[in-house]
Structures are given as structure tokens and as C-alpha cells.
Structure 1
């Protein structure tokens, strides 16, 4: 649980992250420098303190919250197994770091989740197009043949559009069930 003195940090983190939407700094150190610099201005706390707080406290705590209160969507591990068995390439991309750790917290084996990407891979935040294009390139799939599945039109959808990719928005459990049916991946 967050300490009372952390409440302003948590709010500032969220606002700072939103202020970087779509920004592409070309590398993780440049990105994190900008993120921590803006967070420092908002909180009046030094960047080294904020780096330690973010990576050593905030993100590990996020993993604990995920493990305790959340779970992956029904059928997701089976979907990943089917995609892998059929030789279809897929990836998980998040704006938050520690993607493998967060997947594990949701009860998923990160090794079964395809390629895994976060801001440390690109130094950019959705909906910047370069990460989407880089992921398609890593999978050796042309952007026009890439389907992005996400829950946010303003980040996942906009990034897909900027990269010339298709997008499927999942907002509800019904959307997820519709998506699984639409794949028609039966053995």
C-alpha cells in the first residue's frame, strides 16, 4: 500500500506519463531522463530519488497489485499457445516497464507471450509509430499485415493507425470473446 507522502508522487507520475504520450526520444536513457526530469519538476524531488522510487518501489508494487487483484483474460494462454503452434508471430507491448514481471504477476508465463516490448526497448511511448513499426520488423511482418489488439483507441489504436496497421479494440468481455471467435484458429 502507498504511504501518504506518496499520493502526490502517484498523481504526478500519471500526469507525467500522459504528457509523454506519443513522444519518441529514440532511446531508453533519453526517454527516462525526460520522464524523470518532468516528474522532478512536478514533485520537486531529485531525479535519482525518483528513479529509485519508480523502479525499486512503484513498479514492483504495481506487480504485487496485479498479482493480488487482477488476472489475465480468459483463454489468453491458450490463444498464445495456438498462435505459437501455428507459427503466427505475436508480441506484447506496454508503455510501462517490467513487462515480463507484470505478465508473470497476471499468471502468464512470459516465455509463452511472444516477443515482449516496453519503453526500455524504444525510448518512446504510444502512440508513437516507430515502436509499432519496429515490432513488426522484429516479427518480420509487414505493417499492413499486422493486427494490433488493445484496449485504448488513443494509444493502441492511434499507434496502429500511424504505423499503417489494423486495430481491434477490446473494451469488454464480449469484445474479447468476439475477438477470439474472429480469429478462427481452431486446430
Structure 2
């Protein structure tokens, strides 16, 4: 699943940070579920990247903020546009956001309100401003959500730092969102050292 390409193709190994015993996972099951979501997202992204003139995809990047432990699951670069993608695997149910947070039915889902992608945008933005790259647009991030089994509904889920996209629809959303250009090589070169 890893190809070496300056423009087009994919770089890195999806789910690599979730192998072993990560400190954040509440159990081995949570780690395995998270890894399966990253692999499913990677399969969709790598298929897009393999097309002629397709984007470049980077998997499993560290966030360039000192002391920050979370990672960026996937970065997609097309032309000078970057989209950050976080992969999730959630239990089936109806997810919705109200004034007091996000819920699955009538159960509060605190993990749905984390703001990792905001930090990632800040860190990457600062890094790119200090590099010799053309003006770059970091588009609205995507939270790709896969069901652990059954179906889940996210039409009323409103994460503050991303757009929620059901995993099975990710390829179609990106095909409509991304410019039809190969990634700018200077941007790929600037971000590639962040790949773990």
C-alpha cells in the first residue's frame, strides 16, 4: 500500500501508530478498531491517488507542535490544496450535536467532540509558512466515520473542526472537493518528513 512518489501516489503506512500498545487506547479492541478505520480510509484514498494526475496521500503524520502526541491519520494534497482526514470507527446509532455536545441517541459521546484536527491545521499551517512553498490552502478537514457493524447516521453530527463524512462516501466527496491537479512537489517535500 506504500508507493514512493513526489506527486501522485501514497507515502507512509496507514494505522502504523496504532500497532502495539498505544497509551491513548482504552483497550486493545479500541486500537484494533481505530486501525481498521485508518486502513479502510487509506484504501479509498490510495485508489484516488493511483489515478493519472491524482493527488498525493500521506499516511500517519506527526503534528508539528512540541509536546503534542496525537497524529494526523491522512493528508491529501492536490495542487496547492491540502485536506486533513481523521478516521474513526464508531458503534452504530444516530449521532447528533446539540448545545451540550454530541450524542448517540440519548447517550453522551465525549470522544466525538475532540478537536485534534484544529491543532493539526495550526501546526501544519505554521510549518508551511516557514517553508519555501507556494501559498497553500488547508481546506476544511474531514472526519471519515466508519461503522463498527450495522449502520450509523451522522447527518445531524456537527464536529467543530471538521466535516463529518460517512466512510463509504469519502471517495465521492473528495472527487467533488479536490482540484484535479497533481500535488505541488514543494508541499509534498515539506510534509513528507512528518510521516512516521
Q: TM-score range by the shorter chain?
A: 0.3 to 0.5
Greater strand content: 2
Greater helix content: 1
RCO (CA 8 Å, sep 6+): is it higher in 1 or 2?
Answer: 2
Task: Normalising by structure 2, report the TM-score.
Answer: 0.32
Task: Normalising by structure 1, report the TM-score.
Answer: 0.33
